[in-house]
């Protein structure tokens, strides 16, 4: 081969190698990133999203824009976005585990459409009663309920959601006959509990904590596996005679399937650093939640286990949603 041709080919090959290397090392992100929240503004997931978005914006030097796209449309938008890291979605217990458990069909597939990047926060469920009732522990409540089947009304701060399924899980686990009453949301459920229309409420700690601290409601147990920093003296349901019991809302970051591993790792690493910040941890705790720093592997395992658990509970309780 003539030297001139060889030199030209060699030069071209070297250029190609350097071009490929430069492309592989292209920094992410190079433009604003969208963070889809499948809930309305002001909801717990939205609050966490905005805290995280602010910190990522500072860390990356590119704006992370929160976009509220309520419900299924938000999940569809997240699943069909370009797999390039520029569209992230807040994945929660509701949209990833409860919805597939109660709906026969969804326009998104939780097992095929997403990559599970890591956890952000846990929203503990709690069992509370009116302060006027004589029960101070879960054991006392269960004993009373078994002595009078069907006497107690237990409210859920929603329908076909984590509160609802946690309540049904408790009834099934404790083997008690209580009448479940679904409310449109936590506010109306708490109002009826305070007014004496219902005896018991299963709801998020965030919704009930102010009333527990004021003494108007009595907390009997927290539904997380471990005690929470907001109420360190409150026992868990698991340690109150029902080992392994866990009922909690949760949220984390998900990306469209096919997003490059390097970008997934960049996002995961950035989020891990944010969650390690004591100030961020305090912000999450002050909102009635608990930081969840689990990375991709452990969080993925947790999410898939939650999918199976809530599907089983929904089937046992014959809970189905139509819209």
Exposed/middle/buried for 18, CB within 10 Å: 0-12, 13-18, 19+? exposed
What is the pLDDT, as a whole number, of residue 17? 41
Q: Do 121 and 210 meet the contact criterion of CB atoms below 8 Å apart?
A: no
What is the pLDDT, as a whole number, of residue 27? 86
What is the pLDDT, as a whole number, of residue 321? 86
What is the pLDDT, as a whole number, of residue 20? 39
Instruction: Spell out the SS3 assignment of 244-278.
Output: CCCCEEEEEEEEECCCCHHHHHHHHHHHHHHHCCH
261 CB neighbour count, 10 Å cutoff: 9
Q: Do 86 and 299 meet the contact criterion of CB atoms below 8 Å apart?
A: no
Fold equal for 33-123+248-316 and 124-240: yes
Q: Do 85 and 33 meet the contact criterion of CB atoms below 8 Å apart?
A: yes
Per-residue pLDDT of the chain (323 residues; tens, 9 = 90+): 443 433 443 444 444 444 333 334 568 999 999 999 999 998 889 999 999 999 999 999 999 999 999 999 999 999 999 999 999 999 999 999 999 999 999 999 999 999 999 999 999 999 999 998 999 999 999 999 999 999 999 999 999 999 999 999 999 999 999 999 999 999 999 999 999 999 999 999 999 999 999 999 999 999 999 999 999 999 999 999 999 999 999 999 999 999 999 999 999 999 999 999 999 999 999 999 999 999 999 999 999 999 999 999 999 999 998 76
Kindly state the helix (H) or strand (E) to which residue 304 belongs, with its residue range.
helix 296-316
Say yes or no: domain 33-123+248-316 is CATH 3.60.150.10: no
- What DSSP string runs through 146-195? HHSTT--EEEESSSSSHHHHHHHHHHHHHT---EEEE-SSHHHHHHHHHH
192 CB neighbour count, 10 Å cutoff: 16
What is the pLDDT, as a whole number, of residue 4? 41
Give the pTM. 0.87
Query: How far, CA to CA in Å, does 212 sit from each of 86, 110, 156, 203?
Result: 41, 36, 17, 12
Domain locations in the chain as residue ranges: 33-123+248-316, 124-240
Tell me the CATH number for domain 124-240.
3.40.190.10
Q: How far apart are CA 38 and CA 41, in angstroms?
A: 10
């Amino acid at each position: 081969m003539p030297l001139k041709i060889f030199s030209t080919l060699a030069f071209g090959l070297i250029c190609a190698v350097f071009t490929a290397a430069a492309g592989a090392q292209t920094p992410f992100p190079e433009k604003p990133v969208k963070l889809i929240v499948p809930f309305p503004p002001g909801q717990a997931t939205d609050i966490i999203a905005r805290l995280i978005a602010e910190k990522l914006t500072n860390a990356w030097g590119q704006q992370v824009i929160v976009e509220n796209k309520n419900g299924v449309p938000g999940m569809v938008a997240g699943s069909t976005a370009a797999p390039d890291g520029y569209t992230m979605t807040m994945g929660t217990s509701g949209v990833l585990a409860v919805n597939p458990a109660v709906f026969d069909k969804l326009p998104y597939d939780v097992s095929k459409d997403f990559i599970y990047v890591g956890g952000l926060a846990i929203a503990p469920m709690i069992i509370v009663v009116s302060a006027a009732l004589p029960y101070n522990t879960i054991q006392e409540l269960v004993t009373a309920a078994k002595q009078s089947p069907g006497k107690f009304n237990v409210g859920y701060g929603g329908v076909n959601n984590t509160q609802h399924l946690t309540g049904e899980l408790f009834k099934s686990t404790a083997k008690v006959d209580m009448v479940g009453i679904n409310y449109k949301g936590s506010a109306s459920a708490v109002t009826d509990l305070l007014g004496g229309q219902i005896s018991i409420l299963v709801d998020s700690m965030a919704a009930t904590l102010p009333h527990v601290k004021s003494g108007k409601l009595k907390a009997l147990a927290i539904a997380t596996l471990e005690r929470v920093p907001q109420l360190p003296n409150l026992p868990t349901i698991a340690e109150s005679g029902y080992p392994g019991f866990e009922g909690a809302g949760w949220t984390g970051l998900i990306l469209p399937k096919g997003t490059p591993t390097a970008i997934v790792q960049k996002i995961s690493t950035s989020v891990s650093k944010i969650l390690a910040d004591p100030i961020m941890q305090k912000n999450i705790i002050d909102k009635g939640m608990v930081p969840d720093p689990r990375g991709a592997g452990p969080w993925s395992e947790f999410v898939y286990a939650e999918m199976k658990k809530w599907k089983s509970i929904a089937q046992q309780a014959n809970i189905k949603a139509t819209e």
